[in-house]
Every structure is written in structure tokens, then in C-alpha cells.
Amino acid sequence: MTDCIFCKITSGDIPSYKIYEDDYTYAFLDISQVAKGHTLVVPKKHSQDLLETEPEVLAHVIKSVQKVAQMVDKALKPDGINIVQNNRTFADQSVFHLHFHIMPRYQNDIDGFGYKWQTHSDAFDADAMTALADQIKHA
């Protein structure tokens, strides 16, 4: 896609800190590191997000996510790794070419790195949970 920054990166039209590349995927350092080693893995074939990606392409991408996470793990020895993938603006997607974030976590993360969410274990009672599961199951 001509206007897509990640297409321009995978084609080499704009520079990146490349970590890994194969026939289907490309991995490079995120320009705004949330923690040391924060890496993005993308398919070479453009698709907007996970929901709109062909399963065959996604299979290649997730294999590369595992491979690159293992490389980051071996090189940097983080205490943990989050894999994050945002879909649509409301879910914080800002580049509309499918990408997975590999986010190494360290006991002393860079200040301000706070990949935490709030859980609400009592927000839905058992009936509501059953109805919710049914609704999704039957979609």
C-alpha cells in the first residue's frame, strides 16, 4: 500500500532497525521504545489489522513473533515479555498495517512503562457470563 509506513519499511523505502526478515514477515525495533528491545513484527503483505488478515498470513506472522521473542529473550534476558496487538483507533492502533508488539519487561522498566489493565472479577454475575459466552459463541 503506497501510503503505509510499514509497507515502506518492509520494502526498504524508509530505514528501520531490522531484527529479522523472511519471505512473509519483517521485524524491526519500535522507534519509540517502551522498554529496551521493544520490537514490531509485521507481514510483508499489507492488511489493516488482525481481524482482516488472511489466516495463512497470520500463521506466518505468529511464527515470526515466537522466533523474534525467543531472539529478544536470548539477547536481552528480560524478566518477562508481553505480546501486544492493537486493533482500531479506539484500541490504540495508530499504524494501520497489522503488527505485533514484542515488549520485553524488566524488573526496573523504563519509567512510565505501565502495561497493566484493571480487572473486574465481579462485574458480571454467573447468568450474565453465561449469556455473554452464548452471544459470542453463536456469532
| Closest C-alpha to 47, from 89, 103, 6 | 6
* 4: partner contacted, choices Zn ion, ligand AMP, none (Cβ within 5-8 A by kind): Zn ion
**What is the rounded CA–CA span in Å between residue 85 and residue 52?**
13
* C-alpha cell of residue 23: 519471505
- Report 81-100 residues binding ligand AMP (CB under 6 A): 86, 92-95
* 63: partner contacted, choices Zn ion, ligand AMP, none (Cβ within 5-8 A by kind): none
Q: Is 97 assigned a catalytic role? A: no
* CB contact at 8 A, 115 and 84: yes
- Report 9-38 residues binding ligand AMP (CB under 6 A): 16, 30-32
* 95: partner contacted, choices Zn ion, ligand AMP, none (Cβ within 5-8 A by kind): ligand AMP
Residues near ligand AMP, by CB under 6 A: 5, 16, 30-32, 40, 86, 92-95
